[in-house]
Chains A and B, each alone.
Chain A
Amino acid sequence: MNQYWIAVIGTSAIAFILKYSGHSVPEKWLSHPRIQKVNALIPIALLSALVAVQSFTEKSKLMIDHRLLGLSVAIIALLFKAPFPIVVISAAASSALLYRFG
């Protein structure tokens, strides 16, 4: 079994276990403000790291290329409060144009 299958099965199993155990524990266990705070910050940290790694690295090396334009366009779109699909499509379109004709 390759890494991809292990990842699919492992991610799915743990995702369900997390969801189901939430439905099964008493509410007061996790209502501590610090736990709530950490829970709000973890997605910010992981998602920001993923944005950076996917935009500026290639096989464990730092790399500045057409993806920088895509990310910049996405930031501009978000600053103008563009809806989600516009953010993704405008980033993809600008990046593709630079890759093809740059």
Chain B
Amino acid sequence: MSRLSGVNKATLRDSLSVSLTVGAYGVAFGAAAVANGFTVLQSCLLSLLTFSGASQFAVVGVLGAGGTALSGIATASLLGIRNGLYGVIMAPRLKVKGIKRIIAAQVTIDESTGVALGQEVRNPEAMRQGFWLTGFGVFIFWNLFTVAGALGAQAMGDIRAWGLDSAVPAAFLGLAWPRLKTNSDRALAIGCAIFAIAMTPILPAGLPIIATAFIAIAVGLRR
């Protein structure tokens, strides 16, 4: 019996639909990276190696706004902390070692963890299949679409005439939106937005963004 025939149909459907829709969004990343001064090769390497949408958008956004590599790396890494927490959640469920653990770590992102936990009601095997199928699925589509977006943006010329300078903040907003569940979440979002704009003429580029993480930490520890 082939390995795939043992896959729960609903798990396969969930994994594929998430992989395709999220992966397609790699077009926006590839285009954003090139629009912000990264080469096609650098854009593709970010998708292959960093492989975490919010972190990738953050690093190209910070450098595009004139920030240093260090502030870009810091912002991206703060956004990458949650992947570490997903790893903590997934490790006891996957129970893998060695090279398999390295591969599992690389595909530990919002989507693979989300689909896996969504399948847990079915059975532990469906949960593991959901993780691997979604992890590999997003990885493949995200990277293919990144190439397409980067090459497309390179061919466009003045990116403002194509609206790419608005596509990037719209993408950030789309990533933030589902996280704004309560009024205090929304207040934090608006407060951090105003803070970052107000600090932009004063602080070196990139720092106003990183500084908002400390607002989040202060708010989180107080509540």
The residues of A with any CB-CB pair to B shorter than 8 Å are: 3-8, 10-12, 14-16, 18-25, 27, 29-31, 34, 36-57, 59-62, 66-67, 69-71, 73-75, 78, 83-85, 87-89, 91-97, 99-100
Tell me which of B170, B215, B219 contacts A74 (CB under 8 A): B170
What CA separation (Å) do A75 and B38 show in the bound complex? 28
What CA separation (Å) do A85 and B188 show in the bound complex? 25
3 nearest A-B residue pairs (beta carbon): A22-B87, A70-B166, A92-B163
Stretch at the interface among B6-14, B72-80, B116-124: B72-80
What CA separation (Å) do A100 and B88 show in the bound complex? 49
User: B157 an interface residue at 8 Å Cβ cutoff?
Assistant: no
What CA separation (Å) do A18 and B105 show in the bound complex? 9
Asked if B42 and A15 sit within 8 Å, CB to CB, the answer is no
- Of A16, A36, A37, A62, chain B has the most CB atoms within 10 Å of the CB of A16
Knowing A43-B82, A60-B200, the reply to whether A49 touches B220 (Cβ < 8 A) is no
Q: How many residues of B contact A (CB 8 A)?
A: 100
The residues of B with any CB-CB pair to A shorter than 8 Å are: 21, 24-25, 28, 37-39, 42, 45-46, 49-52, 54-59, 61-66, 68-70, 72-73, 75-92, 101-102, 104-106, 108, 160-177, 179-180, 185, 188-190, 192-197, 200-201, 205, 208-210, 212-213, 215-217, 219-221, 223
Asked if B212 and A14 sit within 8 Å, CB to CB, the answer is no
What CA separation (Å) do A19 and B43 show in the bound complex? 20
Asked if A27 and B223 sit within 8 Å, CB to CB, the answer is no
Knowing A3-B68, A60-B205, A78-B173, the reply to whether A14 touches B85 (Cβ < 8 A) is no
What CA separation (Å) do A91 and B162 show in the bound complex? 10
Closest to B94 in A: A23
How far apart are B72's CB and chain A's nearest CB, in angstroms? Answer: 4
Knowing A45-B188, A51-B169, A53-B208, the reply to whether A15 touches B83 (Cβ < 8 A) is yes
How far apart are A68's CB and chain B's nearest CB, in angstroms? Answer: 9
What CA separation (Å) do A8 and B68 show in the bound complex? 12
What CA separation (Å) do A3 and B86 show in the bound complex? 30
Asked if A75 and B173 sit within 8 Å, CB to CB, the answer is yes
Asked if B190 and A23 sit within 8 Å, CB to CB, the answer is no
